[in-house]
Amino acid sequence: MRFAIILVSAALLLSPVAAQTGGTAIPTTTLSLGTATPGGGFPLYGNAFAEVMNAADPHISVAPRNTKGSNENIPLLEKGELDLALVAGEPAYEAFAGIGRAPARLKILTAIYSNPGMFVVRADSPYKTIRDLVGQPVAFGARGSGLPILARYVLDGIGLKQDEDFKAVYLDRAGDGPAMVEDGRVAALWGAGIGWPGFAAVASSASGARFIAPDVEEMTRIRARHSFLKPLLVPANSYPKQDAPIASLGSWSFVLTREDLPDDVAYRLAKTLHGVEATFCKKLAQACETTASNTVAAAPRPELIHPGVIRYFREIGVTK
């Protein structure tokens, strides 16, 4: 796959008109996109991303692939078994910083959406604060996904450990969590993001939902310990019967690329993606945050953005 992409990458920059006027036909390049387990936010986003990109540029074919999530996607990218992958902010932060491993030599194609982390419980439950959940069974997300990592940082900031202070449950599939809240197998489900499917499912259930995020004092403590986490807001009406905005902490998720993805392929992907931002936003609410300016703001360091993407950003004046 890698060598095929290199061979056709130059051809990708030719005008489609060439194929229509007797010139050399433009090959179609297939790019694999790692997402996560069914029922979570990454497959939802990844499938919409592929549909929008494939419709906008018939010479690029993005093929989504379910994986175990961020913690599997990173090594698959490094081994060249994926071309692109969705990776949550915390695993990306640890990989780029070399926390518990050698620093990853991957690149950012785009920031996709912000991930304010919080718990959801049944509306009729007695739980109203994070401390109320201590000692209770809590689903922290799918094994291999970035959600448990975000939870670990948030809880550590207020002096709690998710595997010791809670009866931690890790899911085989992200989509299993809402039913476990509804039938009482877990007291709460941890998740993140705006329009996250797990939160939407609980909020739409017969019992309804209550969301629990760190309070102001807890957020101050968390940021003092883990400053890479940013204050984020879940707007009112992001979920059924959520009448007020919810302040929390989190980070940005990304589409990462393998390091050797050719510059002209990354340039074309960026140009296609940001040329259809409005279309993508209409297709999926979370995608409204997928913008060039958000990518520049969310990247931990500018040099982590793929050089081909930077070239396009300079052309449109988003970066110098």
Say whether 271 sits in a helix, a strand or coil: helix
In tens, the pLDDT along 197-225 reads 999 999 999 999 999 999 999 999 999 99
Is the pLDDT at 3 greater than 80, yes or no? no
- Quick one: pLDDT at residue 20? 39
CA atoms within 13 A on the CB side of 230: 17
The separation between the first and the last C-alpha atoms of the chain, rounded to the nearest angstrom, is 33
- The domain ranges of the chain are 2-114+253-316, 115-251
Poorest-confidence range of 15-24, 41-50, 95-104, 253-262? 15-24
| 127-169 pLDDT per residue, tens | 999 999 999 999 999 988 899 999 999 999 999 999 999 999 9
Q: What percentage of residues in the chain have a pLDDT greater than 90?
A: 87
Which residues are within 8 A (CB) of 245 and not within 5 positions of it... i.e. 6 or more apart?
Answer: 233, 234, 235, 236
**Residue 292 pLDDT level (bands cut at 50, 70, 90):** very high
- Could you tell me which residues are beta bridge partners of residue 252? 114
Lowest mean pLDDT among 21-30, 197-206, 221-230, 304-313: 21-30
pLDDT score of 24: 59
Q: How many CB atoms lie within 10 A of CB 4?
A: 11
The SS3 assignment for 212 reads strand
Domains 2-114+253-316 and 115-251 agree in fold: yes
pLDDT at 16 over 60: no
pTM of the model: 0.82
Mean pLDDT of 77-97: 96
Q: Is the CB of residue 198 less than 8 Å from the CB of residue 43?
A: no
Task: Pick the closest to residue 100 from 90, 85, 110 (CA basis).
Answer: 90
Residue 265 token pair: 């392929």
Residue 38, class by beta-carbon neighbours within 10 Å (0-12 exposed, 13-18 middle, 19+ buried)? middle
- The DSSP-derived string for 17-74 is HHHHTTSPPPPPEEEEEE--STTSHHHHHHHHHHHHHHHH-TTEEEEEE--S-HHHHH
pLDDT above 70: residue 57: yes
Phi-psi category of 100—alpha, beta or left, where left has phi over 0 and alpha has psi -120 to 50? left
Give the architecture (CATH level 2) of 115-251.
3-Layer(aba) Sandwich (3.40)
Q: What is the mean pLDDT of residues 95-118?
A: 96
Q: What is d(CA 171, CA 37) in angstroms, rounded to the nearest whole number?
A: 10
pLDDT of residue 10: 39
Mean pLDDT along residues 94-121: 96
Q: Flag whether pLDDT at 172 surpasses 80.
A: yes
The rounded percent of the chain whose pLDDT value lies above 70 is 92
| Side chain identity, residue 110 | T
Angle between helices 89-97 and 70-78 (to 10 degrees): 40
Q: In CATH, which superfamily holds the domain spanning 2-114+253-316?
A: Periplasmic binding protein-like II (3.40.190.10)
Ranges of beta strands (E only) in the chain are 29-34, 60-65, 84-87, 107-122, 137-142, 167-171, 188-192, 209-212, 230-234, 246-257
Instruction: Determine the average pLDDT of the residues in 247-276.
Output: 97
